Amino acid sequence: MRKSGILMHISSLPGPYGIGTMGRAAYSFVDFLKDAGQSVWQILPLNPTGFGDSPYQSCSTFAGNHYLIDLEQLMEQGLLTREEVESVCWGTDDSRVDFGRLYQCKLQILRYAFERFEETPDYQDFCRENSGWLPDFSLFMALKHKMGGKPWYQWEKPLKDRDPDAVWQARTELRDTIRFHSFVQYLFFSQWKKLRQYAHDNGIEIVGDVPIYVPLDSCDVWADPELFQMDEDRNPLAVAGCPPDAFSDDGQLWGNPLYRWDVMEADGFSWWIRRLKAAGELYDVVRMDHFRGFEAYWSVPAGAKVAKIGEWIPGPGMTFLNRVKEALPDLKLIAEDLGYLTPEVLQMRDRSGFPGMKVLEFAFDDRKSDAYLPHTYHANTVCYTGTHDNMTLRQWFDSAPASTVEFAAEYMALTEGEGYVWGTIRTAMSSVSRLCVVQMQDYLELGGEARMNFPGTLSGNNWTWRAAEGFADPALAKKIYRLTALYGRAH
């Protein structure tokens, strides 16, 4: 079945409280997707944002991002008052997320809701069903608050090393704060469950990301340090990154601790199975970030200033992927097979049976392979105009060399009348890929101001773009529907 969808993170939705949430605008966007004939809503990771405000650098691979909790629903439930919510300045620019203000204010506001909350059987069921990760996460967050935000590896040694007596004492001393963070997670997952059900009721599937790595300052590393390449003092021995590429001459130094794949394999990759099982309960389809890292990963010595001095180390390959398929047979995966691809990576992807990605912006860049030109596609792929890590189409056409634009115009039969951006979307829709995904920024024909992320950089613009009120209007939905139906993808 041919499908199409739109890539837009929840944080990019409009709304009054500094960031897009799982509130009214999210439900309206589902309506827009349905009216536009779409079958898929693709989002970025729903975990808490971390270093650089990135959803790919989260303090927990299981927890939800409390920034996305809708305050209007809490007011309707009597947990918050409008005066409390409106007493906060959530930002001065509705086109950008102000993560600094959210960091200062969102948990403070949710504290008011917690003080009015009375435990219910539903809350108790939630805590029981998530007992595999929630107690550690809530304790981790309570300790972070007590330590003034310091990373766990700077805590006093008994807590850093999870000494049982120190952990028991902390759970006793911080009981109220621990309950608060469990309550916050209950709010997130309750609201997400309702929104996802609404999407399902309207024929919309959710595609979500799972980053391959977790950051050093995460509950995951603190709780299970034996799964990571660390010394006896819990310092990383090597960290993740990627070699020099189109984004950086020095490579990208991500800094995440690397996995001890041999240790993980010894118990059947149980941590990964739990992680992907949780992702499958959040999303309908999981996009596996940095898929090539399962064949071989770029290992950079800890303390290195640049990533280019790293080396390729063999990953778990099909041993891991076969275990995932065995343990989670109903899990739908998309392989993010971008970057430096060797024949071994391509063979692993094909053997796995997971669809790979085709990005049209790469098709006309002479630094890339012609594998991104649509006439080379096969059906088991997902065609993107661009991803959150790429320029918007408008920005790409405005900045690409003239010869590249000429080649793209000739290949895709682009005309000024149709518009180069919409002509590229048409090309993606007409491809044989079973799924076609277009960034919302491209449907809106926005330029570089709307780019979501520039890999390898720290910027106040990364991850902050928000759509304007009224962006998802009926005329645009009708135009998208017409193109979607023309190529047999209409919902």
Active-site annotation, residues: 289, 336, 389
Q: Name residue 205's beta-bridge partners.
A: 40
Q: With 0-12 CB in 10 A as exposed, 13-18 as middle and 19+ as buried, what is 156?
A: exposed
**Neighbouring C-beta atoms of residue 340, cutoff 10 Å:** 13
User: Distance between CA 156 and CA 54 in Å, rounded?
Assistant: 27
Note whether 22 and 68 are within 8 A (CB): yes
- 212's tokens: 């391959």
Question: Which residues, in sequence order, are CB contacts of 322 under 8 Å at separation 6+?
Answer: none
Quick one: which H or E segment has residue 48? none
Helices (H) and strands (E) counted in the chain, each on its own, are 20, 12
Q: Which residues, 6+ apart, have CB-to-CB distance to 29 below 8 Å?
A: 8, 13, 41, 472
CA distance 181 to 135: 9
Q: How many C-beta neighbours within 10 Å does residue 303 have?
A: 9
* Neighbour-count burial for 97-112, b at 16+ CB within 10 Å, e otherwise: bbbebbeebbbebbee
Bridge partners (DSSP) of residue 358 are 383
Closest to 101 (Cα-Cα) out of 18, 9, 22: 18
Report CA-CA distances (Å) from 110 to 105, 144, 166: 9, 17, 28
DSSP 260-304: -HHHHHHTTSHHHHHHHHHHHHH-SEEEETTGGGGTEEEEEETT-
Which residues neighbour 257 within 8 Å (Cβ) at sequence distance 6 or greater? 213, 214, 216, 221, 228, 229, 230, 236, 239, 240
Residues 6 or more apart whose Cβ sits within 8 Å of residue 197: none
**Residue 387: which of 468, 307, 459, 452 has the closest Cα?**
452
For residues 337 and 349, the answer to whether their CB atoms sit within 8 Å is yes
Contact 75, 97 (CB under 8 A): no
